[in-house]
Amino acid sequence: MQNRPLPSRLFCRNDAAMAQPALIKTFAAMLLSATCWLAAGSAFAQDAQPLKVLRTSFRVAETGFDCQRLSDVYSNDVCAQIFDTPLEYDYLARPSKLVPSLLREVPVPEQGGLVYTFRFKPGIYFAADEAFKGVKREIVAADLEYSIKRLVDPAMSSPNSWQVDDRIVGLDELAAKAKKDGKFDYQAKVAGLQLLDRYTLKITLKKPDFNFLYVFAMPTLTPLAHEVIEYYKDDITAHPVGSGPFKLVQWVRRSKIVLERNPEYREEKLDTTYANPNDEWDREVVKSIAGKKLPLLDRIEIYPIEAEQPRFLAFINGEHDLLPETPPSYAAQVMPNGKLSPTLAAQHVRAFVELQPELTYDSFNLDDPVVGGYDAQHVALRRAMAMGFNRGQEISIIRRNSAMAAQSPIAPGIVGYDPTFTAVDQDYAPARAKALLDTYGYVDRDGDGYREQPDGSPLSIEYKISSGGLSYLMLSQLWEKSMRAIGIRLNIVTVQFGDLIRDQKVGKFQLTGAAWIADYPDAQNFLQLFYGPNTGSSNNARFRLSAFDKLYEQAIAMPDSAERNALYREMNRYILAYVPWKLGVHRSYIHLMRPWVKGFKKHPMYHSRFKYLDIDAVAQQAGHQ
């Protein structure tokens, strides 16, 4: 990276023209331009302050930056750097803790979790954009009201509308009316969204909800300027305008995203309240960036690279400074035996190992006549299949040991996660699996090596995966082998990605693989995948057990407490008993960075948090020699 002089226009700001005699004006102009020229020249000469540029990659390409309309992780991640949200997660606190960002304080649940009052900080402005026609635009509570309405606008068909669907009084009725009228009336008043004053919004919910605030840490529910939306119309995905620490300056789709510092970003410094003095990463963060005005980076270049080898080699070769989520295939090379490889250690590369708040799993279809059902015989089939699958090989060979066997659907680091909870009948136990199948009548009667159903009809189960890409290929190979070893015929069926999603949602499958990453750090986000009424929207296993549903409904009306954790434990026991899922693993990722990247601590709920990163530009230049 070569040096660039600081733009000379920073030193040549023109004040409003003054009514001066022409001569003085001319003289002043000459003096000014001479100064500019000298300043620029000295910047050239001195290598004064090299720009702080971070180059990194995404492992999946982005789609666009209208985060209400799009829901993929990486587009959201870029939005999170451009938009401020009402609330955010504290950078250092673990487990995740909500702290105010645009709001003055975290709203306290009122009336038993029915009402929340949002009080915005005054004096925060959107970044300058031509849509504002030169006016400096302050963020007001009405912008959040507009944003909430836009999320449920039928014309948006937003995949994120579930965040507010059926929660806010009067909102769903307005959306239904908009569907009938063909147009959403943004001026109409919604009973549950009350503007108390310029900076205050009072939200009233239909039912008590103690997890409601989490959605306001996501870039989907950030205050939006309606002028920008109306100005750019369909091009809005290329023109995100927020008040955040960075602005989008260049976008070559699926190839390069460039962010630059927002010069008008408000005063913000690292909050060290929750820093843990015993954590080495916390110590480094505090040492590097405490007390400094954020953001520290001048420019960020993000390169989406979906192929593993090029993305990995780009970091190793020095083309990139930060490698988030090292491809698992190279994990053993980067950290053999759990320690950083000598080559990388010699280059002072640092590695952050993170157990992400997610899990992989294989889902049965509980409505299927062969594998579904709640009676002992069918439960036995699913339990046997779960025990027949060689999860040990999945972890050691496919995941290269960078994974933890999941004991429940709840991921580590999530509120409600119990580190002592150990599952039963989910680990590899082929003898028990075979014995169980024998007990319940799944025996091989015709000697072809595969078992039949208890009534004698042939047993053949389909494992459905997507045809594009090799991601589930090895896993499906392992499934086929494991099932063959216990005598169950498993056919791997590949379909187009879009069709796979559809088949999973409408229940046209027997067994399929998937993964779920936390949208917010509460166990409810995972357990809602088993809630009966969610069948067809997020409950793809179509699990409908009234005992489970009753526990779930009790739990969502409670805040985090020992009683709620007891309910979660009960729900987990039902899941283990009826096996709607074969639990997979929680994957761990290694994030690599060069020694000149400072201030890094991977937050489980964010993919990137660039406003806290710093680059030692001198060391970076030296490193490239």
Helix axes 546-556 and 562-578, enclosed angle (nearest 10): 160
Give the C-alpha distances (Å, rounded to integers) separating 540 from 326, 353, 505, 535, 580. 30, 31, 6, 6, 10
- How many CA atoms within 13 Å lie on the side-chain side of 197? 5
**Residues 344-363 close enough to bind another protein by CB under 8 A:** 355
d(CA 167, CA 216): 14
Q: Which of 116, 199, 216, 330 binds another protein (CB under 8 A)?
A: 330
Query: Using CA atoms, how far apart are residues 178 and 158, in angstroms rounded to an integer?
Result: 14
The distance of closest approach from Cβ of residue 493 to another protein in the complex, given in angstroms and rounded to an integer, is 5
Among 90, 367, 480, 616, interactor with another protein by CB under 8 A: 480
If one asks whether residue 456 binds another protein (CB under 8 A), the answer comes out as no
Which residue's CB is nearer to another protein, number 376 or number 618?
376
Is 473 an interacting residue with respect to another protein (CB under 8 A)?
yes
Minimum Å gap between C-beta 35 and another protein is 32
| Residues facing 517 on adjacent strands | 358
Sign of CA dihedral 521, 558, 549, 407: positive
87, β-bridge pairs:
100
Among 20, 35, 477, 561, the residue binding another protein under the rule CB under 8 A is: 477
Output the CA angle 134-139-145, nearest 5 degrees: 125
Residue 194: both structure tokens together: 């009350």
Angle CA 518–536–156, to nearest 5: 75
Phi then psi for residue 261, to 5 deg, are -60, 140
253 binds another protein (CB under 8 A): yes
458 binds another protein (CB under 8 A): no
Of positions 71, 117, 347, 554, contacts another protein by CB under 8 A = 71
Among 577, 595, 606, 623, binds another protein (CB under 8 A): 577
- In the list 43, 144, 395, 511, the residue contacting another protein (rule: CB under 8 A) is 395
Contact call for residues 486 and 473 (beta carbons, < 8 A): no
Task: Tell me if 87 contacts another protein by CB under 8 A.
Answer: no
For position 273 contacting another protein by CB under 8 A, the verdict is: no
Near another protein in 214-243, by CB under 8 A: 234, 237-238
Q: Which of 265, 578, 589, 600 binds another protein (CB under 8 A)?
A: 578
Among 264, 290, 374, 550, binds another protein (CB under 8 A): 374
Residue among 495 and 615 whose Cβ is closer to another protein: 495
Pick between residue 296 and residue 335 the one whose CB is nearest to another protein: 335
Q: Does 303 bind another protein (CB under 8 A)?
A: yes
Q: How far is CA 311 from CA 268, 321, 597, in A?
A: 33, 12, 18
For another protein, the binding residue among 53, 405, 583, 592 (CB under 8 A) is 405
The site for another protein, by CB under 8 A, has a size of 110
Q: Whose Cβ is closer to another protein: residue 285's or residue 579's?
A: 579
Residue 30 binds another protein (CB under 8 A): no
- Of 73, 87, 359, nearest in space to 214 by CA: 87
Shortest distance, CB of residue 544 to another protein, whole angstroms?
A: 15
Instruction: Tell me which H or E stretch contains 98.
Output: strand 98-100
Report if residue 76 touches another protein, rule: CB under 8 A.
no
Contact positions with another protein (CB under 8 A) in 483-522: 492-499, 501-502, 505, 516, 519
What gap in Å lies between CA 140 and CA 224, rounded to an integer? Answer: 10
Q: Determine if 254 is a binding residue for another protein (CB under 8 A).
A: yes
CB nearer to another protein: pick between 227 and 570? 570
Residue 137 or 451: the one with the smaller Cβ distance to another protein is 451
Q: What tokens appear for 147 in the block?
A: 């944003």
| Interface with another protein (CB under 8 A), residue from 299, 399, 594, 598 | 399
Q: Which of 60, 379, 443, 619 binds another protein (CB under 8 A)?
A: 379
CA dist 6 and 48 (Å) reads 9
What contacts 24+ positions apart, CB below 8 Å, involve 106-111?
106/213, 107/213, 109/208, 109/210, 109/212, 109/559
Binders of another protein among 516-555, rule CB under 8 A?
516, 519, 536-538, 547
* Closer CB to another protein, 106 or 478, in the complex: 478
Measured from the CB atom, is 337 or 457 closer to another protein? Answer: 337
On the 0-12 / 13-18 / 19+ scale of CB atoms within 10 A, 284 is middle
Of the chain, the end-to-end C-alpha distance in Å amounts to 10
User: 275 vs 381, which CB is nearer to another protein?
Assistant: 381
Q: E-strand spans in 188-295?
A: 193-197, 200-204, 246-252, 256-261
Residue 375 contacts another protein per CB under 8 A = yes
Q: Which stretch binds another protein (CB under 8 A): 95-103, 112-120, 193-201, 415-423?
A: 415-423
Residue 235 CB, nearest approach to another protein (Å): 8
Residues between 103 and 162 with contacts to another protein, criterion CB under 8 A: 154-155, 157, 159-162
Site string for another protein, 436-455 (x = CB under 8 A): x-xxx---------------
Is residue 422 close enough to count as binding another protein by CB under 8 A? yes
Closest to another protein by CB, 71 or 117: 71
User: CB of 586: closest distance to another protein in angstroms?
Assistant: 8
Q: Which residues make beta-bridge pairs with 118? A: 201
Window 35-64: residues binding another protein (CB under 8 A): 63-64
The dihedral through the CA atoms of 422, 427, 431, 436 has a sign that is positive
Give the integer Cα–Cα distance in Å for 327 and 304.
13
**SS3 of 27-66:** HHHHHHHHHHHHHHHHHHHHCCCCCCEEEEEECCCCCCCC
